[in-house]
Structure 1
Amino acid sequence: MPTQYNTLIFSPHIDDEVLGCFSFLGPDCFVLHFGAEDRPYVSRIERIQELERAATMLNFQWNVLDNPVNHYRMQDLIPTMELAINQIKPNRVLIPEPSYNQDHRAVYDAGIVATRPHDTNWFVQNVLIFEQPDSLVWLHSKSNEPSYFREIQIEQKLTAYALYSSQVRGHRSPETLQAIASLRGAQICKPYAEAFRVKRLVDFR
């Protein structure tokens, strides 16, 4: 596991980081993906190849774990998350908004545990919850009003998303991503933005 990245993203699946955290992806960001599977229309190897192309374009570092997709267990994810936090010592951790997707809920619940105030674990000053199309088009809870925004260049985000060609689907189409980004941009008087919920934001003085 690498060390000393400012931002650590807990991404349930390959492509979730581009869908929800595009504005944070860069040289100072490490993305931990919790699984990738073989499917009839795309293999695990092809999924990782798509990730490699996106990571090369956006210049972020990553690792893909072997948890069984659609069967993540919170208790299995927590030790891996804590290990990553203690080794990387990030200033910021991003975890997914819980949604109808069971893997997203497992990563969210495990992430809340792994970033808790603790007397021996590395203390992450800033914890943000990132949204995705599935957390907006079919709400899982009423607590997803965003409180933190980052302006983005939508063309760059859509170009990066297109690299995950096997995952471009109707319910998370480029048009849907652009509509969400336009809405979030309007909330901060910018053309396009990504939005997050603040779980913890620390200002040490």
Structure 2
Amino acid sequence: MKRLILAPHMDDESMGCGGLMAKYPDECIVVTVTESGEIRSGEHAKAMEILGVSEMRNLGFEDGVTDQHMTALVGAIDAVMAEVRPDEVYLPYPSLHQDHIAVYEAGMRSARVSMSSDHHFPPTVLVYDIAAYDVNLYPTDLRWNVFEALSEEEVTKKALACTAYQSEIPSEIHPINSVKQLAAAAGLVRLMEYAEQYALVRQVRR
């Protein structure tokens, strides 16, 4: 199993899929889209070490303007898809941030059926939740309908990975500091101690 996680910024992957990565570290490939500088890159490396993920790369797009480079962004993701050939692709929910919307849209386009013989068609596409945003700019038909059960150890690793991003934590009261509470809220109503929530876009079963 190969799980490709596309993150607009270094920290989105941990907030959205940190538990999944802690659970399946050898199956996850993390691709961050925007270049974030030495400090945040160091925090990202620390977060990945906490989660046990060793395969990651950065596409090097400028933060805040990825929506202005859609063709190049889709092409860059296409190249990663062709190289990695993931079984599952994880995309950010298209909420308020322009980079999140752009990466979601570019990822969906890259996951398309193509006339090109070397284009990879990932059989499963899911969207992950980033709790920092509570308003959407446009409606979608996405629903949180897939729930990944997490153990105490896995959710603790996710929380530690999120707090590795000290340069991105604006205040003590913030979703990035409430990882275990959010995971408990998602899990308990579904008879699990902790969970991460995802929206299934497509699943092809063979």
Provide the TM-score with structure 2 as the length reference: 0.86
What's 1:28 paired with?
27
Question: Which of 186, 190, 201 is the matching residue for 2:192?
Answer: 190
1:8 has 2:9 as partner: no
Structure 1 vs Structure 2 CA RMSD: 1.7
Asked whether the 8 Å contact 2:113–2:121 carries over to 1, the reply is yes
Aligned runs of 1:55-204 on 2, under 5 Å?
55-60=48-53, 61-73=55-67, 74-119=70-115, 120=117, 121-135=119-133, 137-140=134-137, 141=139, 143-152=141-150, 153=152, 154-170=155-171, 171-175=174-178, 177-204=179-206
Deviation of 1:142 (Å): 5.5
Unaligned segments of structure 2, at least 5 residues:
none
Amino acid at match of 1:126: T
8 A contact 1:100–1:134 mirrored in 2: no
SS in 2 for 1:181: helix
- Would the alpha carbon gap of residues 151 and 81 (structure 1) be closer, same or farther in structure 2, given more than 3 Å must change? same
Whether the 8 Å CA contact 2:33–2:61 is kept in 1: the answer is yes
Tell me the distance in 2 between the aligned counterparts of 1:16 and 1:174.
13
Determine helix, strand or coil for the equivalent of 1:134: coil
Q: Percent identity?
A: 25
Counterpart Cα distance in 2 of 1:151 and 1:168: 26
Q: Is the 8 A contact 2:51 2:157 kept in 1?
A: no
Q: How many residues align?
A: 192
User: CA offset at residue 178 of structure 1?
Assistant: 3.1
**CA 1:75–1:12: 2 relative to 1, 3 Å:** same
How far apart, in 2, do the equivalents of 1:118 and 1:185 lie? 37
1:68-122 CA-partner distances (Å, limit 9, x unpaired): 1010032221001110001111101111100110000000010110001224211
8 Å CA contact retained: 2:94, 2:136:
no
Gaps of 5+ in 1: 38-43
